Copies of this chain bind each other. A is one copy, B any other.
Amino acid sequence: MSTDFVRRADEVTEGVGLLRQAAPEAMKGFAALGVAATTSRALDAKTKELMALAIGIAVHCDGCVAYHTRAALKHGATREEVAETVALALYMGGGPAAVYGADALRAYDQMSRDARA
């Protein structure tokens, strides 16, 4: 399996930068929404990133899977938590969620290996 999920996540980050230049006001609103939605309050940030990952799997968005797996990892998500997030997405998404959910686990393994190196 050769997909480079670190690079895929980087492309998403670069893409957001590209949009910020091209549509600065819309992206300012989107960024404010993102900060408000993912900051720890009643639910902690790690849980919220796992939720974003679950949605990314359910809507078949490969860039979202790479990006939010990395964000969940940064907030301390364990492999078990990612696996249970995938299982929940599978229950809510069936076969396609197995395809995108397996990528979440692959991304986690690749990214946590990089983090340890």
Residues of A within 8 A of B (CB): 1, 11-12, 14-16, 18-19, 22-23, 25-38, 41-43, 47-48, 50-52, 54-56, 58-61, 63-64, 67, 78-81, 83-103, 105-106
In the complex, the answer to whether B37 meets A90 with C-beta atoms within 8 Å is: yes
Q: Which residues of B contact A84 (CB under 8 A)?
A: 23, 37, 41-43, 48
Contacting A19 at CB < 8 Å: which of B60, B64, B101? B101
In the complex, the answer to whether B43 meets A81 with C-beta atoms within 8 Å is: yes
In the complex, the answer to whether A54 meets B56 with C-beta atoms within 8 Å is: no
Q: Within the oligomer, what is the number of copies of this chain?
A: 6
Q: Which residue of chain B has the shortest Cβ distance to A89 in the bound complex?
A: B55
Q: Can you pick out 5 interface pairs between chain A and chain B where the beta carbons lie within 8 Å of each other?
A: A12-B102, A29-B33, A30-B33, A48-B88, A59-B96
Q: Which residues of B contact A37 (CB under 8 A)?
A: 26, 29, 84, 87-88, 90-91
